[in-house]
Structure formats: structure tokens, C-alpha cells
Structure 1
Amino acid sequence: MKPIVIGHRGASGYRPEHTRSAYELAFALGADAVEPDIVATRDGVLVVRHENEISGTTDVASRAEFADRRATKLLDGKELTGWFTEDFTWPELSTLRARERIPEIRRSSATFDGRFPILRLRDVFEIIDRAAEHEKRAFGMVAEIKHATYFDSIGLPLDELFAEEVNAAGWNGADGRLTIESFEQGVLDGIYARGIYGKRVYLIEARGKPFDQVARLGAKAPHYADYLTGAGLYGLSGRVDGISVDKSLILETDEAGRVLGASDLVDQAHAAGLEIYCWTLRPENRFLAKSFRRGRLKADYGDWLTEFRTIMRTGIDGVFVDHPDLAVMVRDEL
């Protein structure tokens, strides 16, 4: 089976992420689904931003009327200073404009800074429905729930808010269009308990521990790596439908960081009855494995074709990409 291509925050290699233009372009370039990151406002509106700290992806830092909202918070065990969605109402956030998150790498995308407003989750449902009607084929959403334990602690339960949005949008039809993912299993369980019929995918980092487990168990919390053992994968089977991992876990490297080929993680996940996805395929040197970097500049494209091929030939079920057209081209070769 060929892997599905998921536009990571839309076509975020070409437009500021999580904007209408980025999502619409992703479908125009052949993506099968798009991935919004979901956080909440003070008044309980779900918005799509990479993080709830928004100084790097909006013009909030330049807005004098919001200067007093700058704050320092403890987020998933780490201190962070900036402007946070939960300190704004939706009418306030709707006045902000999106900016390219990594302008030093994505200079062409940065030329669109200031042109697009922030979107709500309900807006993304509408964009997908409209694209499906126009293209006469089904498109999907892979919804990533961000910092659920933190938001729950401040009275904004993302599982409840998300379930309400899905039902209101008419997306709870068990038709395969909706996938829900998170680095925290607890919120996936909560959404399932609320009767939402979406595929559940557990996000797994290359290192560290899931924060919901840390909050509950402290030092006894399992590492992400524990879930990638044979026993760990079989333990996930039945609780989730799949896993999604850092692409470094799909590539086998030597001690010098040279890529030797693909690991056997895809086969292990499938043997445990799990689907498996990976993130994020990007063509720029900054993001490629060392073996595939070419030239001195981080923003230049390296040998992305070989890296994409190595990963997509494993039998992986889907890939998250910033440039959907590049992954579609490689998939068409398979």
C-alpha cells in the first residue's frame, strides 16, 4: 500500500503554517490530509497554532495593545516566556496575523507575513469540506492535540472542547476522515470516551518522556523508548490504532550519523497490529539526516529525494511533509 501524504500544518514549506493559504495549497499539491495543531483560547475556542506560545508565528509581539500579555509560564515542565493563546479571547486573537516560523530557512514563505489571520479549528473543517467538494474526493484531517495536561490544569479540557467541535462540524461519522494524535495518551483516551470515532495515533519522540505520564508518575514515568520495544508496541495495540514517530527512528545510522538504510520499526509496528507514520519530511539541509546534506547553506535543498525514498519504501502508512508535492512525486514512483 502506498503511504498517505499529510500536509504538515498545511503546505508549510511554501506558506506560513496553519493559514488558509497553506491548507488550500496542500490539497492543490496532492496531499491526502492536513494536520492542524490544536490549542485553546481563554474563552474556550480551539485555534490552530504550532504552540500556545505564539510570538514566533504571529505579529503579537509588535502589537502595543497586547504588550501587557507577555508572561512566563511553566509548560510541560519547562519555563517559557512569550504570549499565550489562553490569555486571549478569540475576538482578540482574530486580529493577529500569521508569520513564517522559520524565516531564515523559508524566505519565500516569509514574504507572505501579515497577509493571513489565525484560524479556528472549525475553519479548518470548512476548508477541508470545501476542498473535497471541489476536487470530488475525500480529504482527511490529522488533528494534533497539544499540551492537554497543561490546558486541563487551567480549566480548558481539550478532549471536551474537541469533541464538541467535531460533532458540530458533522465530522463524527466514522468515515475514516478523522485521525486524532497526541504525545499524551490520556487525551486520546478522553476523546474516545466522549464517543468520537476517529483513528487514534500516539506520537512518540526520539527521546524523553510523555508529560501526562510524568505528571502522574513522576520519575517512574516510562520513556518514549519503552513504547518502541516489542512488548511496548504490543501493549499499545488495542489502546491506539497507530504510532507516529520522529523520522530519525525510521532511519538506521552509524555512530558518525551516516544513514545505512531503514530500521525495522515499520515492520515491528505492523507485526503488533499498529499503523505507523513519521514526521517530518523536509528537503532543506537543516532538516535532513547528515548523509543527505549538500553544500554549506542550511536553507538549500540537499539530497531530499534519497531520504524521502528510503523512508517511503519501508511500507510506512503515512508521512508528514512540509512540501506535499515532493512526497507525492516520490510516492508515484513506488
Structure 2
Amino acid sequence: MTPGGDGFRLAEAVADVYGDLRLEPVLRRLLRHTARLTRSAAGSISLIDAAAGRYTKAAEYGAFCRLGDSFPLDEGATGRAFGSRRPVVIPEYGQLRAGHLAGADPVRRGPAAAVPIWWRGEVIAVSVTFAPAAGAFSARDVDDLEMLTQTAAGAIVRTGRFESLATALRRTGTVVTEAGAVRPVAPEVARVAADLVGGAGSGLRVGIVYRPEGVRVIVQDGTDGAAWADRPPRIAGGEVTVEKVRGWGVILRADIPYAMPAAPSPFTARESEVLEPLRQGLTYREIASRLGMSPKTVEKHVGAIMRKTGASNRTAAVVTALDNGWLGMGLGDSPHTATG
């Protein structure tokens, strides 16, 4: 199904949203396509922090909607959509309690549609669209908005999965000192560092040095009984050294690249070929024409992709493949690639 009119194509919009997986560009492109879909005058996207009971305005266009500010989850159009757990249409935004548009903003006199974005059963963001060209939101408009915004869930999750390594290690109760220009690290980097610290015991001193080529984790154990004292752990793509220093105990230095090697792809070469046009939103018939196979064969490969990713639909399968770095990895890319 292709929502909207005037040449709007959902597949092209999704491919564009996923073109640069950094949070700000993802949200800007989603807003651009939302505006094009409904020919709306303004819009905003807020990220939800349900644990803190707040949301933060993360992107906007066409209106000053207090970008960067945080609000309680029971305020504004975002609060309405979060509380309802479904799309909400507000006939006149200016009549909404605790709305955040400036009082003189003309779009306050028009309607607004707030659409929640879901991930694993939780609302992670809400997209609000103001003042469509038609003057009102039809049921079809809301359905199309929901379809479009939900396709960005995987991209939003992926861009938001990065955090300070010190933050990850401090969750284990470890005292951490940082040096250099602190930068976020991928979850797999944090897991490697946490495994190093977790395997060393208690009473540790941990230092993190952010370098251009990667992060260096220095772990000091004041005793001689560190679990890794005699058998240094291995890190894919990195290097670990262990040194016993008189009066200091055991010191481990681990150099971890910011980009860890991707997990082996579970797909056959043919499934990997199908995955790329699937990401672009092509139909089975279009994929078949591009790859020189029958639509039934394409359907069979897509079924295998969904089974191997554990996904219930095509979009979720693509998101899982993106999340694991499997797009573009074919049969010959890893010695452990499945051949089924």
C-alpha cells in the first residue's frame, strides 16, 4: 500500500529515513516526509522517557515548539497520544490543555494529529503534525501517518542505543575515570568492556581513555588474584595486555575499536541479494524482475529471512538485519555464514 497522493511513495520515504542512521537526520527526514504526505504547515517529534515520566522535543519544522525542552508525560498532544496508546486527532490545537506552541502561532487555530511510535510494546516517540492542507485530518490521513511514522521505529531505536561507556560500567557499581574527548560507544563495545570488568572481581579501579582509533580500558586490580592475570581475554579486532606491577597488583589494558566486527550473517547469498531491495520497499514482483527470479522464489526467500530474524513482517526483518549489520553481507563474507 502506498499512502497519500501526489506521487508520495512510502518505499522511497522509508529508504530515505534509513539513509543516515544518526538521530537528528532521521527525525528531520521523517518530518519532511510527514509534511509532504499531508501537506501540513508544521510538525514536531518528541522522544519518550517513560521511566522518568517525561518526554523531550527532539525535532520540529514550521513552528517553535520549545525544541530541546522536556515535559511531563500528561502534557500536550504528545501526552494525549502516549496516554491513549493510539493516534489522537485534536480538532483545534489552541484548545488543548498545556499545549506548547507559542500563543501567536497561526497553526494553533487548526487541527493536530499525534501519532505514537512503538518498539517492543512500548511507546518510544510521538510525531505531531499540525494544520494539514485539507483543513482537517481524515481517517485515511491518520492511517497513512501511522504507517509512515511507525516505519521509523527501528531507525530511532538504533540511533538511540549509544551511550557513554562510563555510564554502562557504572551500572555495575564500578568507579570509573574518563580521559579524552568522551564519545558514545556502540552496545557491543560496552558489552566487551563490561565483560572485562566483570571478569576481574571487585575492588577495581577503571580508567577509560578515548582515542581517535578506539577506546582504551585500563583496569587495575590491587591483588595478585585477578581472574585474567595469567590468561588475558581476547577481543575481536582489539588487543589486550596484562602486566603485574609490584606494589600495584595486576593491570589490564584493552584497546577496543569503536566499530566491532559485525555478527556473522545468517543469510545465504541469494537471501542477502533479496534483502537489499526488500529494504528499499520493492514488491515481490519488482524484486523478482530486478534479480531475475520468479515472485514465488522471492516470497520463499523473504519467508526464510523472516524466520532467521524472528520477525513477523518485512519491515521488522529489515530493521533486525540493519541492527546486526547483516545488510550487504553475503555467503562469502564470513566463514560462519549459514548455508540453509
Does the TM-score normalized on the shorter chain lie above 0.5? Answer: no
Normalising to structure 2: TM-score of the pair? 0.25
* Structure having the higher Rg: 2
